[in-house]
Amino acid sequence: MPIRGSRRAWRRIPFRLPQTELPVDRFLKAMRSLRFRLMLVNACVVLLASMATLFTLRAGMQFALLHELDQILSEDLSEVELALAAGDDARSSELREQLERKARGHIQHRWFVQLLPVAGISGGETSGPDAAGPLLLASVQADGNRWQSVNTPAFLRDHPGPLHSPTTLEGYRIHTRTIGKGQGVLTQLRIGASLDLIRRDLALIDRITGVVMVLGLIIAPLGGYALAGVATRPLEQIIRTADRLRPEQLNERLPLRGRGDELDQLSLAFNLLLDLIASFLERNGDFLANAAHELRTPLAALRSTAEVALRSERSVTEYQELL
């Protein structure tokens, strides 16, 4: 037979569903942790440093490759200038055959050379890379000394005037120099090469940089999380030790690693606080024990007097005198 009050008693019992932590809550809790923030800072620093290093390396590699090409073209320019200074005429078929063979031998670099007549200034006063500024190219009809090798780009075949040296134009690195002997028509010498090989090398560097950046995006957070775990492990040990402390048991202390860092200083300060609390509780316990001892004797005397007074019937005056 069911008990009548059992249903009412059951209704009065509070019913609580078991609290389960959702994955979103765990993720938000992890994001608020010190370990996650240390991981984020470490990953950002590593990625920024890696990006700066890689971009600086690419810029330095580009400068080095371009400087090396400039050195080669400058040496070729000086070689042709020495050949002309030795007595070879710009219209010499032998000189042009040598330059043509060299251009065909460097076809993978698209190396080319141009010999262009220049009019308007004496040859004895103009020589070197900076002498081509105010000069004008003579027309082919006026002088038939104009010649260009294989691999010469189309946009340079009919170029109206001199170029700054060195210069980069439509994917070519070009060096220009005006040379000549005595009075009369000078010769403007152009030598250039394609930048395709340099761009190919830089494209390879860009691909390697992209792969390194992707790996950095994966490795930096994982490594930062692991390093943050190592850094926060002493804090977790401090928290676990603090959770085990009770007012009646204060003999446990936080461990010191002996490194003298901030965590050891925190543990030392916490241990000093525990020592003060334990000393305070011990003094209070002694005080209460002494007070209880001091109060025990008068209370016992009063109790015995009351018991003696209550053993027999007495008058009010006698009770007052005894108590």
| 76 contacts 183 by C-beta, under 8 angstroms | no
* Rounded Cα–Cα distance for residues 47 and 216 (Å): 7
| pLDDT for the residue 192 | 93
Task: Work out the pLDDT band at 19, boundaries 50, 70, 90.
Answer: low
Task: Report the pLDDT averaged over residues 20-29.
Answer: 69
Q: How far is CA 64 from CA 59, 69, 121, 150, 286, in A?
A: 9, 9, 37, 27, 83
| pLDDT for the residue 131 | 40
- pLDDT tens per residue across span 208-263: 989 988 998 899 888 888 888 888 887 888 788 778 777 767 777 777 877 777 87
Axis crossing angle, helix 262-309 with helix 196-244, rounded to the nearest 10:
20
| 263 contacts 234 by C-beta, under 8 angstroms | yes
| pLDDT for the residue 87 | 63
- pLDDT tens per residue across span 101-131: 989 998 899 999 988 876 544 433 334 444 4
Higher-confidence position of 25 and 174 = 174
pTM of the complete model: 0.61
Q: Is the pLDDT of residue 207 over 80?
A: yes
Cα-based torsion angle of the residue sequence 297, 300, 305, 307 in order, rounded to the nearest 10 degrees: -170
Task: Work out the pLDDT band at 270, boundaries 50, 70, 90.
Answer: confident
Pairing of strands 112-119, 172-179: unpaired
Task: Work out the pLDDT band at 281, boundaries 50, 70, 90.
Answer: confident
Name, in order, each residue with C-beta under 8 angstroms of 156's C-beta and a sequence gap of 6 or more. 112, 114, 148, 169, 172, 174, 190, 192
Domain 53-203 has CATH 2.60.40: no
Pairing of strands 147-148, 112-119: antiparallel
| 90 contacts 131 by C-beta, under 8 angstroms | no
| pLDDT for the residue 125 | 39
Higher-confidence position of 50 and 92 = 50
- Per cent of the chain over pLDDT 70 is 67
Task: Report the pLDDT averaged over residues 287-305.
Answer: 68
Domain positions in the chain: 53-203, 262-317
Higher-confidence position of 137 and 264 = 264
Task: Work out the pLDDT band at 99, boundaries 50, 70, 90.
Answer: confident
* Rounded Cα–Cα distance for residues 79 and 204 (Å): 33
What are the structure tokens assigned to 199, written together?
């761009």
Query: What phi-psi label fits residue 180: left (phi over 0), alpha (psi between -120 and 50 degrees) or beta?
Result: left
* Rounded Cα–Cα distance for residues 160 and 142 (Å): 15
